Amino acid sequence: MPELPEVETMVRGVRRHCENRRVETVEFCPCPRQPIPVFPDRGTFVRVHGATIESVGRLGKRALLKLNLGDTIVIEPRMTGLLLVSEPPTELHLRMRLWLQPSRGLAATLRFWDRRGLGTVSLLDESQMQQLRNRLGPDALEMTLVDWKQRLAKTSRPIKVALLEQSLVAGIGNLYASEILHLSGISPKRRADRVRGGQLSAMAEAVRTVLETAIRYEGSTLNDGTYRNALNEDGGYQNHHRVYDREGEQCSNCGQSSIRRIVQAQRSTFFCPSCQR
Ligand SMILES: [Zn+2]
């Protein structure tokens, strides 16, 4: 889970508390559970003490805190990570705290919380940051029709599997891939290099529509309740899912077929066999 809309929501939620503020200290919390991976290592983060956060941004499913001295803190929430400026869901799973220069009306700390501990925190210099950008495809919200054409033409994998490939396009995960393909009427099993013409334009438009709408609703909080916005509140897009986790329910588009679930590359795919060809 956290995909592009959820990470964008976290980033927007913490931005005003972090930008142009100095980091006093970085604290890795003593979590008795599986420790999160820290790159290159925890000791290196003393470099952050005294630096100012210039901007807070996003790269695919990662949050970026750009510092004034050229370093960037990269936080990848992966399955259950959250960026918070309020009390975390549990103290037990708090992983990292950035203590910020005190300022009236703003949060004292930025917190990274992660129940399962699969998220990662990295401190990258400019060249390492460039290497990361080179490894990833363009951000899903910045893909043009030409980008889609060129990138999908190179893969014969099913379109649903291709959409999850972060080196092809960054930011889309399992939930939104199913939603995008239902909105654009494309079978998840269709070969990626055969999605062309009107279908491809419909898909490019659906990517934008689904992701931007999900950002407006502040992401999707699923039944496990894990995903929260920066203030530890639920997102709202789960009430608008067209197919995700709706196996057996009637399709809201055709009103005739029921939503089916199949497994592709070990992940569940939800789709309507009538609407998606
Ligand atoms: Zn349908």
- Residue 31 confidence (pLDDT): 81
Q: Residue 173 sits in a domain of what CATH number?
A: 1.10.8.50
Query: What range defines the domain where residue 81 resides?
Result: 4-135
Token look-up 């689904």 returns 210
- Residue 33 confidence (pLDDT): 78
Identify the domain boundary among 119, 135, 151: 135
Burial environment of residue 134 by CB neighbours within 10 A (0 to 12, 13 to 18, 19 or more): exposed
Separation CA 165–CA 156 (nearest Å): 13
Where are the alpha helices (H) located in 100-196, listed in sequence order? 126-135, 145-152, 159-163, 174-184
Residue 224 included in any domain: yes
**Residue 128 CA, ligand 1 centroid: distance in Å:** 45
- Residue 246 confidence (pLDDT): 97
Any catalytic annotation for residue 151? no
Residues 153 and 84 in one domain: no
pLDDT digit of tens for each residue in the chain (277 aa)? 899 999 999 999 999 999 999 999 999 998 887 889 999 999 999 999 999 999 999 999 999 999 998 999 999 999 999 999 999 999 999 999 999 999 999 999 999 999 999 999 999 999 999 999 999 999 999 999 999 999 999 999 999 999 999 999 999 999 999 999 999 999 999 999 999 999 999 999 999 999 999 999 999 999 888 999 999 999 999 999 999 999 999 999 999 999 999 999 999 999 999 999 9
Neighbours of ion ligand 1 (CB under 5 A): 251, 253-254, 257, 272, 274-275
- Residue 150 confidence (pLDDT): 97
Q: How many helices (H) and strands (E) does the chain have?
A: 6, 11
pTM over 0.85: yes
Residues 100 and 184 in one domain: no
Residue 109 included in any domain: yes
- Residue 1 confidence (pLDDT): 86
For residue 215, give the 3-state DSSP assignment: helix
Q: Which of 21, 61, 160, 246 is catalytic?
A: 61
Separation CA 273–CA 277 (nearest Å): 7
| Torsion sign (Cα): 32, 114, 225, 169 | negative
Residues 168 and 121 in one domain: no
Note whether 256 and 274 are within 8 A (CB).
yes
- Residue 204 confidence (pLDDT): 98
Any catalytic annotation for residue 267? yes
Burial environment of residue 75 by CB neighbours within 10 A (0 to 12, 13 to 18, 19 or more): buried
Note whether 269 and 179 are within 8 A (CB).
no
Any catalytic annotation for residue 160? no
Identify the domain boundary among 76, 104, 135: 135
Any catalytic annotation for residue 15? no
**Residue 47 CA, ligand 1 centroid: distance in Å:** 54
Identify the domain boundary among 101, 135, 169: 135
- Residue 30 confidence (pLDDT): 87
**Residue 151 CA, ligand 1 centroid: distance in Å:** 28
Residues 70 and 13 in one domain: yes
Separation CA 72–CA 56 (nearest Å): 10
Domain count, the chain: 2
